[in-house]
Amino acid sequence: MITTLTNEALDSCVRLYVETFNAPPWNETWTAEDANRRLSDFLDTPRSHGVCLTDADGTLLGFALGHLERSGADDHVLLQEMCVRASRQRQGSGTLILKALATRLDGVRHWYLLTARDSEASGFYEKSGFRPAGRIGVFVRP
């Protein structure tokens, strides 16, 4: 079942986020406190939108969270986080989540996100209609 990502769902999203991104292939070092801060900040962003996918028992299977940004005469979606339970990856859950978010953002054509190049995630996003930006680069400091 797809529902709107709200503050009430945040604890479940935090647990799934930590579980997912601390495991291979990401091998990151998220604490629940840090993940909560990150996801809370994103959810509190003006014009944020998110969806959750749960099974019949109410177990969170995945979520996506982003916000609308104005660029000229159009809105763009920055997809800030997406997470699918490892046991449900490569089974259509991510595609279902993205489609549900797109439905809620009906009419918004321009989407962008950041993810690791040459990763399973980048392959998923390319299959979902994303492509590497042609002339846009990501700059970091330091």
In the chain, where the domains are located: 2-127
The CATH code that applies to domain 2-127 is 3.40.630.30
Taking the model in full, what pTM does it have?
0.93
Cα–Cα distance list, 104 to 17, 59, 115 (Å) = 22, 22, 23
Quote the CA–CA distance of 87 and 55 in Å, as a whole number: 12
For the stretch 13-63, pLDDT in tens is 999 999 999 999 999 999 999 999 999 999 999 999 999 999 999 999 999
pLDDT band at 5 (very low <50, low <70, confident <90, very high): very high
Tokens of 95: 């595609």
User: With contact defined as beta carbons under 8 Å apart, do 113 and 79 qualify?
Assistant: yes
Which residues, in sequence order, are CB contacts of 109 under 8 Å at separation 6+? Answer: 74
